[in-house]
Amino acid sequence: MALQDIVAGPRNEQGIAAAIGILKQRFGENLHTGDAYRQQHTHTMSYMPGQLPDAVVFPQNSGDVRDIVRICADHRVPVVPFGAGTSLEGHLNAPRGGISINTGRLDRIIEVNTEDLDCTVEPGVTREDLNAHLRDTGLFFPIDPGANATIGGMAATRASGTNAVRYGTMRENVLSVTAVTADGREIGTGGRARKSAAGYDLTRLFVGSEGTLGVLTGITLRLYGIPQAIMAGVCPFATADDAVKAVIMTVQMGIPVARIELLDATAMQAVNAYSGVDYPEVPALFLEFHGTDASVREQSAAFGEIAAEFNGGPLQRASKAEDRNRLWKARHDIFWAASALRPGAQSLSTDVCVPISRLAECIRETREDSERSGILAPIVGHVGDGNFHALVFFDANQPDDVRRMEAFVARLNDRALAMDGTCTGEHGIGQRKQTALRKEMGPALDLMRAVKAALDPQDIMNPGKIFSLPPG
Amino acid sequence: MALQDIVAGPRNEQGIAAAIGILKQRFGENLHTGDAYRQQHTHTMSYMPGQLPDAVVFPQNSGDVRDIVRICADHRVPVVPFGAGTSLEGHLNAPRGGISINTGRLDRIIEVNTEDLDCTVEPGVTREDLNAHLRDTGLFFPIDPGANATIGGMAATRASGTNAVRYGTMRENVLSVTAVTADGREIGTGGRARKSAAGYDLTRLFVGSEGTLGVLTGITLRLYGIPQAIMAGVCPFATADDAVKAVIMTVQMGIPVARIELLDATAMQAVNAYSGVDYPEVPALFLEFHGTDASVREQSAAFGEIAAEFNGGPLQRASKAEDRNRLWKARHDIFWAASALRPGAQSLSTDVCVPISRLAECIRETREDSERSGILAPIVGHVGDGNFHALVFFDANQPDDVRRMEAFVARLNDRALAMDGTCTGEHGIGQRKQTALRKEMGPALDLMRAVKAALDPQDIMNPGKIFSLPPG
């Protein structure tokens, strides 16, 4: 979808005014209609123009969420759930106005069941807060999308990140949720059992639904024991192709790497310049191994042999926590590091994911395309999953630049689909990938629309996300 | 739901006759209306009375499935998909009559992508056929519910079994499906990417939907490398409580057991008598470890230490393939072994799954309940997941016996729910667990009903399963 197509939908002015009046009475100073609040609650992590909600409300508990949704439902007013504001696809925009629900005060960790390796949290808990809370238990929550997102936002977008190759994504790690649905009722999708065959998988239906089916009020998560031993490392390669081939071999051999991340040469230059590190400026893999001392040694030795086979190495190891943290901070700061390569430019992150056998080809063609198109687009990727991001920089004030960027992104999405992949491994559809979703899903998109219409007949739950394009 | 409540629904006699006429023309000798075929296609693995379809049709390809469903949709005739007939919950019954679709000839393995560790199969492929086909690739498909079920049936019921503690269930191992929906269209829910955030998780919606949303025509599965080393073993314990405590500790320590199965003393007696083995007739764990030689040794040694701590051991190891196969055959034959304890009796298998911290308590209370109630109910379980089966024997001709059995099962399901668990870990709802599902899901059941009504407005896809009780 081109920028100019992300248009505001029809606004229900009368309903919005009435709902705000009632919410004001009910929530007093926890409701904000000032410009500053409204601005802060639209989309800040991407180039997309903000579409402001009419008010921002801060519920204190799930009862408040029920009341907010009921009031909005009574007046057919859109509801946009807001976590930490780190979404990349316009999920927080309010194209038809309405009420932004900031879940920041729903930040209680309800229970941690150390024996069962699970916990239940409110949606506004961030992943860093959760892990800080867990520190003394010997457990951790592995899903790490980089940003300090909220668990609610991560569940809503089916997030993953660097640890997914070993621990899975939010899809695998949410055991159940509670949610307030479009009629203002709170429902629960299950208990704490590790597996269940009890009817439709409503948990997985809510995970990744981007706020379009309900507002999450509680999330029960799987936890993991902190590994006895952790070893990280950086491994340079002659070419990105070689690095990816080493990844494929590593995955096929069943080496249980916890993280295996690719940065291309441009990304490595950016990392050195921004993070004050001094890596070789060639394509590299950032890795992490989890296990017992013996198994970590075994894994890293096995990986070292594979790397050598594909013109890579040596693996520069980091075992001490501070060294590992520095390494992963450099990796996670890539967005800011790359931004510094072209100051003042806008950027977006693509998000394709392909079967790993096609990954080298997909990355190579994408790099060639960016070079041919004169687009700065360093590549970083969760390559163990087949997922990579091209960080595309462009000048939003130059229509030619925007057009060139959009054509590049469309070609990349088409390339991934032709390889049996997806346009989004972890960021979601939001506003910007609806054309790609239509291509990807074909007639299955009608099923999604039917589910949406059945569960939100007034189309008030985060409208304009996933589905705003007309059918066909 | 009591036996007598599983009643036939209203039959659309005229529509059925018309549809069979058209199907007869279209499918000729691949359509059967004789009693023998109709009998074979209802439920044979449980005590539930059979409710016969009016005809059985054998499609040869997915185009045939589309035609069958279109013809049935045109005449509002129920469609009941049939795999290997190993369902335990009445999924194959036809309470309103209609057409049973036998997927047995949809048995092609479409592709195996060894580099990507995935494959795509038609629904009628059995898991044993798939693994036989994969043998030369070094890969295997781990989900093992015991019976030689079809992949389509396993996906439809969200099956799991003995390997789930390490490899997950069908929920985690189906990458995408193709399905013919209630309007006779074939849709695909995704490609082969390992992860995706592309809209609603239709794959997970179809997995576990028990044929009520569509007929699966293709399933793309994750595969795994056959481990370099496999070691199995049997470990006796003083009490089932001790055994379960050892399981909890094993899981909490993060020992990546591939299988960890409990058999109580009664089950062990049955196994010895039936399978000609000679295990101590005390509660025991059947285990399997996968990995490198070194890690298998490390894992089994760590488990041995835990067992000793909880009055268990020694672990009797089996490394040779033939010894391991004998061990697992004895485990898998438990249904027949237990049946031999009370010849001529009917049986059913319960299927609760609870958080592992509650597992010892749940099993203990269940055993005490069966003793108090005079019910023969040996217990076997996938205890690493918190899932266990009581194999309940009763005389279906004795109303008192049936009532006692039903009350016992209802108490067991309630017990699991009170422990934050589920009434079904892997068998599904079908006809027999609808009351339990209602208790378990509360108002969330309305969401399932809404999804069903949206995707199958005529209620022709396996009607009377999951949902036949009136709302409320």
Beta bridge pairs of residue A393: A347
Which residues form the domain of A41? 10-104
| Type and span of the H or E element at A151 | helix A151-156
Q: Does residue A314 have a cis bond before it (omega within 30 degrees)?
A: yes
Is B414 domain-assigned? Answer: yes
Give me the pLDDT at residue B344, please. Answer: 87
Select from A117, A441, A450 the Cβ nearest to the Cβ of B199.
Answer: A441
Is A451 domain-assigned? Answer: no
B311 shares its domain with B348: no
Q: Compute the average pLDDT of residues A300-326.
A: 95
For an interface test with A, the pick among B114, B195, B224 (most A C-beta atoms closer than 10 Å) comes out as B195
Is A463 domain-assigned? Answer: no
Give A467's pLDDT tier (boundaries 50, 70, 90). Answer: confident
Half-sphere exposure (Cβ direction) of A207: Cα atoms closer than 13 Å: 30
Which amino acid, residue B216? L
**Contact criterion met (CB < 8 Å) for A440 and B191:** yes
Give B8's pLDDT tier (boundaries 50, 70, 90). Answer: low
Does residue B255 contact residue B328 with C-beta atoms inside 8 Å? no
Beta bridge pairs of residue A290: A230
Give me the pLDDT at residue B263, please. Answer: 96
Half-sphere exposure (Cβ direction) of B238: Cα atoms closer than 13 Å: 8
Report strand pairing: A259-263 vs A31-32: unpaired
Q: Choose among B35, B40, B157: nearest CA to B88.
A: B157
**Res. B48: pLDDT tops 90:** no
Does residue A209 contact residue B200 with C-beta atoms inside 8 Å? yes
Print the SS3 string covering chain B.
Answer: CCHHHCCCCCCCHHHHHHHHHHHHHHHHHHEECCHHHHHHCCCCCCCCCCCCCCEEECCCCHHHHHHHHHHHHHCCCCEEEECCCCCCCCCCCCCCCCEEEEHHHCCCEEEEECCCCEEEECCCCEHHHHHHHHHHHCEECCCCCCCCCEHHHHHHHCCCCCCHHHHCCHHHHEEEEEEEECCCCEEECCCCCCCCCCCCCHHHHHCCCCCCCEEEEEEEEECEECCCEEEEEEEEECCHHHHHHHHHHHHHCCCCCCEEEEECHHHHHHHHHHHCCCCCCCCEEEEEEEECHHHHHHHHHHHHHHHHHCCECCCEEECCHHHHHHHHHHHHCHHHHHHCCCCCCEEEECCCECCHHHHHHHHHHHHHHHHHHCCCCCEEEEHHHCEEEEEEEECCCCHHHHHHHHHHHHHHHHHHHHCCCECCCCCCCCCCCHHHHHHHHCCHHHHHHHHHHHHCCCCCECCCCCCCCCCC
Q: Please, which contacts does A442-448 make with residues 24 or more away whose CB atoms are closer than 8 Å?
A: A442/B187, A442/B188, A443/B185, A443/B187, A444/B187, A444/B188, A444/B189, A444/B202, A445/A471, A445/B199, A446/A471, A446/B187, A447/B181, A447/B187, A447/B200, A447/B202, A447/B455, A448/B199, A448/B200, A448/B202
Give me the pLDDT at residue B49, please. Answer: 85
**Contact criterion met (CB < 8 Å) for A199 and B466:** yes
| Pairs of CB atoms within 8 A across A/B | 274
Distance of CA B146 to the CA centre of its chain: 9
Half-sphere exposure (Cβ direction) of A271: Cα atoms closer than 13 Å: 29
A155 shares its domain with A174: yes
Radius of gyration of chain B (CA): 22
3-state secondary structure of A82: strand
B203 shares its domain with B257: no
Give B470's pLDDT tier (boundaries 50, 70, 90). Answer: low
**Res. B3: pLDDT tops 60:** no
User: Looking at the complex, does the CB of residue A454 fall below 8 Å from at least one CB of chain B?
Assistant: yes
Tens of pLDDT, residue by residue over A231-274, are 999 999 999 999 999 998 998 888 999 999 999 999 999 999 99
| Type and span of the H or E element at A225 | strand A224-225
Is B459 domain-assigned? Answer: no
Q: Residue A31: which residues within 8 A CB-CB, separation 6 or more?
A: A20, A23, A24, A55, A56, A57, A58
What Cα–Cα distance (Å) separates residue A262 from each residue in A25, A267, B450?
52, 9, 43
Structure tokens at A316: 């520069």
B129 shares its domain with B200: yes
B328 shares its domain with B358: no
Q: Which residues of B touch A422 (CB under 8 A)?
A: 190-191, 193, 196-198
**Res. A4: pLDDT tops 60:** no
Select from A117, A169, A195 the Cβ nearest to the Cβ of B353.
Answer: A195
**Res. A5: pLDDT tops 60:** no
Q: Compute the average pLDDT of residues B352-375.
A: 96
Which amino acid, residue A90? G
**Res. A45: pLDDT tops 90:** no
Q: Which residues of A touch B356 (CB under 8 A)?
A: 115-116, 194
Give me the pLDDT at residue B254, please. Answer: 86
Select from B422, B437, B450 the Cβ nearest to the Cβ of A454.
Answer: B450
Structure tokens at A270: 């950016």
Backbone angles phi and psi of B71, in degrees to 5? -65, -45
3-state secondary structure of A13: helix
B196 shares its domain with B275: no
Which amino acid, residue A277? V
Looking at B104, B120, B145, the residue that finishes a domain is B104
Burial class from Cβ neighbours inside 10 Å (0-12, 13-18, 19+) for residue B25 reads exposed
Q: How many other C-beta atoms are found inside a 10 Å radius of the C-beta of residue B262?
A: 24
B115 shares its domain with B217: yes
| Alpha carbon of A172: minimum distance to chain B alpha carbons (Å) | 7
Q: Compute the average pLDDT of residues B414-418.
A: 98
Mean of the per-residue pLDDT values of chain A: 94
Does residue A61 contact residue A69 with C-beta atoms inside 8 Å? no
Tens of pLDDT, residue by residue over B212-254, are 999 999 999 999 999 999 999 999 999 999 999 999 899 888 8
C-alpha A462/C-alpha A72 separation (Å) is: 12
Q: Which residues of B touch A199 (CB under 8 A)?
A: 208, 429, 437, 441, 445, 448, 466
Give me the pLDDT at residue A75, please. Answer: 98
Q: List the CATH number of the domain containing B39.
A: 3.30.43.10
Per mean pLDDT, which range of A310-319, A461-470, B159-168, B378-387 is the poorest? A461-470
User: Looking at the complex, does the CB of residue A445 fall below 8 Å from at least one CB of chain B?
Assistant: yes
Looking at B104, B137, B154, the residue that finishes a domain is B104
B114 shares its domain with B219: yes
According to DSSP, residue A385 is labeled G
| Type and span of the H or E element at A239 | none
C-alpha B193/C-alpha A426 separation (Å) is: 11
C-alpha A121/C-alpha B404 separation (Å) is: 40
**Contact criterion met (CB < 8 Å) for B355 and A113:** yes
Is B456 domain-assigned? Answer: no
Distance of CA B221 to the CA centre of its chain: 17
Q: List the CATH number of the domain containing B218.
A: 3.30.465.10
**Contact criterion met (CB < 8 Å) for A194 and B254:** no
CA angle B35, B40, B42 (to 5 degrees): 100
Q: List the CATH number of the domain containing A389.
A: 3.30.70.2740
**Contact criterion met (CB < 8 Å) for B420 and A292:** no
C-alpha A118/C-alpha A174 separation (Å) is: 9
Which amino acid, residue B239? T
B317 shares its domain with B357: no
Give me the pLDDT at residue B9, please. Answer: 66
Per mean pLDDT, which range of A171-180, A455-464, B337-346 is the poorest? B337-346
Backbone angles phi and psi of A434, in degrees to 5? -70, -35
B234 shares its domain with B221: no
State what percent of residues in chain B have pLDDT above 70: 96
C-alpha A153/C-alpha A211 separation (Å) is: 9
C-alpha A295/C-alpha B125 separation (Å) is: 37
Is A174 domain-assigned? Answer: yes
Q: List the CATH number of the domain containing A275.
A: 3.30.70.2190
Q: Choose among B264, B258, B250: nearest CA to B380.
A: B264
Structure tokens at A43: 């989309």
Give me the pLDDT at residue B471, please. Answer: 59
Give me the pLDDT at residue B2, please. Answer: 42
Distance of CA B64 to the CA centre of its chain: 27
The alpha helices in A276-397, defined as continuous H runs, are 293-309, 321-332, 334-339, 359-372
Is A446 domain-assigned? Answer: no
Strands (E), A412-453: none
B138 shares its domain with B214: yes
Q: Which residues of B touch A190 (CB under 8 A)?
A: 422, 440-441
Q: How many other C-beta atoms are found inside a 10 Å radius of the C-beta of residue A396?
A: 16
| Alpha carbon of B385: minimum distance to chain A alpha carbons (Å) | 6
Burial A358-392 (b: 16+ CB within 10 A, else e): bbbebbeebbebbeeeebbbbbbbbbbbbbbbbbb
Q: Which residues of A touch B185 (CB under 8 A)?
A: 443
A213 shares its domain with A116: yes
Q: Compute the average pLDDT of residues B30-34.
A: 98
Is B393 domain-assigned? Answer: yes
Burial A29-61 (b: 16+ CB within 10 A, else e): ebbbeeeebbebbbbebbbbebbbbbbbbbbee
Does the predicted interface ipTM exceed a cut of 0.90?
yes
3-state secondary structure of A398: coil
Domain count, chain B: 4
**Contact criterion met (CB < 8 Å) for A422 and B171:** no
**Res. A471: pLDDT tops 80:** no
Structure tokens at B417: 């729910």
What Cα–Cα distance (Å) separates residue B404 from each residue in B7, B370, B435?
21, 10, 17
Q: How many other C-beta atoms are found inside a 10 Å radius of the C-beta of residue B133?
A: 16
| Type and span of the H or E element at A81 | strand A79-82
Give me the pLDDT at residue B377, please. Answer: 96
